[in-house]
Amino acid sequence: MKAPIDDRVLQHINYLVDERVFNVGEMKRHVRLFVKNLFGDRILPLSFNRRFFPSRSDLRNVIYRQRQRKLSGLLDQEQVLQLVRKLSVDQIESVWFYRPSSTPSEGDNANDSQSLLLVFQLAWQRRLLLRYGQEMVFLDATYRTTRYAVPLFFLCVHTNSGYCVVATLIMEREDTVSVTEALGALQNMNPNWSPSAFMVDSSEIEMNAIASVFPGW
C-alpha cells in the first residue's frame, strides 16, 4: 500500500506535467492508459497497487514536486529577461526589477543562492499609482491563475474609471521576507509613492511586510 511509485510510471507522470497536464483526474486517466500499454497482454496489477495506480493524493504530490523542480530551470527565466529587455528596446516605457533564481555551485556557500523576484510596471501603471495610490492601495495574492507554482501578487488602486492593476509582483516563496523585498523594490521604483492605507487579505505575511517597508503603517 505504501510502496513507491514505479520508476516508469513516475517518469511518465513527470513528462505529462512538463506537457502541462496538471489536473489530477486527467492525470489518473493518463496513468491508467500508460500502465495498460506497459503490461500489454500480461495481467494488470490490482487497482489498489499504488506502485502502478497512484492515489489522487500521490498524483497531486508528484505534480506539485515536478512543477517546483521546473522553477529551478533557467530557460523560462531567461525568456522573461529577454521579454523585459525587448519592452525597453521597443521604447515601451516600463520600470522593473528582475532577479532570476539560482542555486550555489558545488563548494559554494548555501547562502549564496538567490530566489526569483520580478516587480514590473508599465509607465501608465506608474502614473496611476502615483495619482491614485497615495491613499488606499489594494494588495491581492492570486492562486492557480498561472501555469507556474509561484506566488503572484497584484497591486491595485481605485481610479476614476474603476479598479486597476498598477504593479505585478512575482516571487519564489510566499513569506514575509520575499513580500517585503518585492514591496521594497516597488517603493524604490516609485520614490514619491507613500500610501496612507493598504487593504489586504487576513495575512500576517502581507501585513508584516507592509509594516517593514512603510514604518508607522
Averaged pLDDT for residues 150-156: 91
Q: Are 54 and 80 contacting, i.e. CB atoms less than 8 angstroms apart? A: no
Residue 11: all three cell numbers together: 517518469
Q: Are 112 and 174 contacting, i.e. CB atoms less than 8 angstroms apart? A: no
The pLDDT of residue 53 is above 70: yes
How confident is the model over 181-195, as pLDDT tens digits? 999 999 999 999 999
Per domain, the residue ranges of the chain are 7-70, 75-213
Q: Give the pLDDT score at 205.
A: 92
81 band by pLDDT with thresholds 50, 70 and 90? confident
Q: Give the pLDDT score at 211.
A: 93
Quote the CA–CA distance of 123 and 136 in Å, as a whole number. Answer: 20
Helix (H) or strand (E) holding 179: helix 176-189
- Helix, strand, coil shares, percent, the chain, to 5: 45, 20, 35
Percent of residues, the chain, with pLDDT higher than 70: 85
How confident is the model over 17-51, as pLDDT tens digits? 988 899 999 999 999 999 999 999 999 999 889 99
Q: Which residue has the higher pLDDT, 199 or 111?
A: 199
Angle between helices 176-189 and 204-213 (to 10 degrees): 40
DSSP 154-166: EEEEEETTEEEEE
How confident is the model over 189-217, as pLDDT tens digits? 999 999 999 999 888 999 999 999 988 65
